[in-house]
Copies of this chain bind each other. A is one copy, B any other.
């Protein structure tokens, strides 16, 4: 963390998702002065003692005050911006989706202002919808995409692909400053459901602290990538059969299953069914953003499947929130 003085603070920026909340205090040039995180995602708001009709609103207030109340009081005139599920139907203030195609240079024009009960204004970044069948939506990843675009890049290709792994992974197809399309994969959530609620989890130790087993993960990747695969529903069953046969020991099964799922996701992006021209071009540069350990797994899959032009960015969200604030004239 850089040791910059707090009095240079310029922006309070929130990444408010389903299961987590992060707050950034940003200084000159978007420099990160402080980062805080809590589990108060919109589906995990703090419980209050007294219930009332506007209980949910009060729980949002409480989460907001809990993570950055001191910043709000110390810097009463600092603008506050937020991206993510805070703008969803279950969020603090529902905002309408913008529609594709979207020029990321104009995202700041569409911020939705919202006054909290204590009178502080929060600027909410709206989500993005691809209305073409079968439809797709995102909230928060459009901000990361802008952050990635704002970062120095050595590519001369006009087309880039952003991969944002997570509970619901997003792959965003960008040409110049424009988001042309995106795809969602429920990989993270499906992994959790398979591990906790199917026979596959029965022999997997619940202790998550064990170290990453790269060999088992790669074995799962190779299974998902092989020519003879009959798809995910079939491949995941081998987690069970290889355990029965003693080929996989319990400590290896979780990473093997993770390899199968991530492998199927990455394979689907690189080799879509039949019409191979629809796949990601080999020369398209790919940038990963999000949790670093998870991004390393995706990078490992991409490299194993033959890609080389892969980058990782740890601060896409902060950079995106900073640049949207500039676009909107908040700074």
Contacts and interface: CB of A to CB of B under 8 A. Distances in A.
Contact of A228 (B186, B199, B273): B273
A114 B7 CA distance: 80
Interface in A265-281: 265, 267-269, 271-275, 278
B229 A273 contact: yes
Nearest to A222: B134
* Interface band, chain A: 35 or more
Count this chain's copies in the assembly.
2
A225 to B, nearest CB: 10
Contact of A193 (B168, B197, B264, B268): B197
23 contacts: A134-B223, A135-B245, A136-B238, A136-B241, A183-B230, A186-B200, A186-B234, A186-B236, A186-B237, A187-B233, A189-B198, A190-B190, A192-B197, A193-B193, A193-B194, A227-B273, A228-B275, A229-B272, A232-B232, A233-B261, A233-B268, A234-B265, A273-B273
Given A89-B244, A193-B194, A271-B273, 16 more contacts: A134-B223, A134-B235, A135-B245, A183-B230, A185-B230, A185-B234, A189-B199, A190-B190, A196-B197, A228-B272, A233-B264, A233-B265, A233-B268, A234-B265, A234-B268, A273-B273
